[in-house]
Amino acid sequence: MNFSRSTSLFQKAQQSIPGGVNSPVRAFRSVGADPLFITKAAGPRIFDEDGNSFIDYVGSWGPMIVGHCHPKVVEAIKKTAESGCSFGAPTELEITLAEMVIAAVPSIEMVRMVSSGTEATMSAIRLARGYTGRDNILKFSGCYHGHSDALLVKAGSGAATFGVPDSPGVPADFARHTLTARYNDLDSVRELVAANQGTVACIIVEPVAGNMGTVPPNPGFLEGLREICTQEGIVLIFDEVMSGFRVAYGGAQEVYGVTPDMTTLGKIIGGGLPVGAFGGKKEIMSLLSPAGGVYQAGTLSGNPLAMTAGIETLKLLQAPGFYQQLEEKSKALAEGIAKAAKDAGFPIYSTRVGSMFCAFFSKNPVYDWDTAAACDTQAFAKYFKAMLQEGIYLAPSQFETAFVGATHGDQEIEATIAAAAKCFKGL
């Protein structure tokens, strides 16, 4: 496969854009390759500047659950754009999407739109602090909640991939209020809460961790967090930026039957346009400006194009059997890849929740950041590059999740498993 145009564009990009990319993991740096420059995508496929075509399991890092360029979504965006791209004033579209989100997500009684997942978690935490009058927050190592200062502590995703889970530029004073526990380890939470009695405003957690690879919650973990939060007056925040509308229409909270006090969303609810949202109990959300005193704002918040793409995407997700079909094909794919690895004598640890899955290059179970970090990232890098040559576009890091969408059909799934079988044999 020839990547010469992408390679020359990457050289050019590095002159004007730090590292040549506008978000770090895109650079393929940790797998020792140059990124592909993309021209277009359609359904399950993505196309690069050299005219190569790939089956895409990145899906813009999660949003593209109905496939790229779904005609209904594209048509609706075009129609909205003809009436104006942004007004900085309220529109009915915002009410429509808010009502759809409230109807779907058990914990959400009121919701505010923002423009990214980072903004959603940052704002949710400010509100939780305003509500409780407490300063400390508790997160889990390996979870990623965007790049706001207080959350770049033991962070997953690109921060983990590049070995900077604690970024320079975050004053120690800002990080001081962030307590870090181990994912799937309730004792580590209890210890921290006890040692900081009455000072913890919120616990923020990815109910299905997707930023250290895919790590499902152990049975009882989310229930245990709920119990601790209720007992201690701590606001429980599920960061469902990735899992929301992904693992089920109502997100992970629907799947596991645990209701947090607040929820953050992003990705899918923007249908591929920039969006984020945070919502929860009325009692908490009413403290938000201008109803209450906790300040939060945005020039492009509730943007009509993003609202339109979100509304149309959510409508498509309501089709009967949508999530069942996604579950079946995701299962076939993840199991097929795991079997291909085993047959090649290269056993992996395979995890999956709905259409989120990960092949960990580890013989041992992965259930938290330490066990994820122990994976063979060099073998992963080889696998990644081999899969790319076979026309399969995976996230360029062991610490990311693969996403299956509605347009991945039997043909794509069979081709992916066959490619994986070949690549594992070659490792």
Q: How near is the Cβ of 270 to ligand PMP at its closest, in Å?
A: 9
d(CA 393, CA 346): 21
CA 199/CA 386 separation, integer angstroms: 49
Structure tokens at 119: 């903004």
Closest CB 81 distance from ligand PMP, rounded Å = 22
Write down the H helix ranges in 133-268. Answer: 157-161, 172-175, 186-195, 221-232, 251-256
Among 65, 111, 137, 241, binds ligand PMP (CB under 6 A): 241
- Cα radius of gyration (the chain): 21
Q: How far is the CB of 25 from ligand PMP (least distance, A)?
A: 9
User: Does residue 61 belong to the site contacting ligand PMP (CB under 6 A)?
Assistant: yes
- Residue-by-residue DSSP string for 360-377: ES-SS---SHHHHHTS-H
Contacts of 286 (CB under 8 A, 6+ apart): 110, 292
Which residues lie below 8 Å from residue 163, measured CB to CB, with a gap of 6+?
none
Cα(3)–Cα(389) distance, rounded to whole angstroms? 10
207 touching ligand PMP, by CB under 6 A? no
Residue closer to ligand PMP by CB (options 48, 119) is 119
Structure tokens at 207: 């109910």
Please tell me which residue in 48, 56, 239, 368 is annotated as part of the active site: 239
Residue (201 or 386) nearer to ligand PMP, CB: 201
Of 347, 370, 357, nearest in space to 401 by CA: 357
> Which span sits near ligand PMP by CB under 6 A: 70-78, 127-135, 140-148, 319-327?
140-148
Which range, of 47-55, 81-89, 143-151, 309-317, touches ligand PMP by CB under 6 A? 143-151
* Active site annotation includes 267: yes
Please name the helix (run of DSSP H) or strand (run of DSSP E) that holds residue 119, with its range, or none. Answer: helix 117-132
Binding flag, residue 211, ligand PMP (CB under 6 A): yes
Helix axes 322-343, 410-426, angle to 10 degrees: 20
Choose one: 28-36, 239-247, 321-329, 409-417; the region binding ligand PMP (CB under 6 A). Answer: 239-247
How long, in residues, is the chain?
Answer: 427
Query: Is residue 301 a contact residue for ligand PMP (CB under 6 A)?
Result: no
Residues 270-299 within binding reach of ligand PMP (CB under 6 A): 276
Q: Which of 135, 106, 97, 110 is nearest to 283 (CA)?
A: 110
| Shortest distance (Å) from residue 302 CB to ligand PMP | 16
Q: Which is nearer to ligand PMP, 346 or 367 (CB)?
A: 367
The answer to whether residue 310 forms part of the interface with ligand PMP (CB under 6 A) is no
Among 52, 107, 121, 178, indicate the residue that binds ligand PMP (CB under 6 A). 121
To the query of whether residue 139 is one of the catalytic residues in this protein, the response is no
Task: Decide: is 242 part of the binding site for ligand PMP (CB under 6 A).
Answer: yes
Catalytic residue among 131, 183, 185, 267: 267
144 is catalytic: yes
Going from the C-alpha of 332 to that of each of 102, 296, 352, 391, 404, the distances in angstroms are 32, 43, 11, 19, 11
What's the min distance (Å) between Cβ of 267 and ligand PMP?
7
The smaller minimum CB distance to ligand PMP, of residues 6 and 118, is found at 118
The one among 94, 185, 206, 412 contacting ligand PMP by CB under 6 A: 206
Active site residue ranges: 144, 239, 267
Residues that bind ligand PMP (CB under 6 A): 61, 116-118, 121, 144-146, 157, 206, 210-211, 239, 241-242, 266, 276
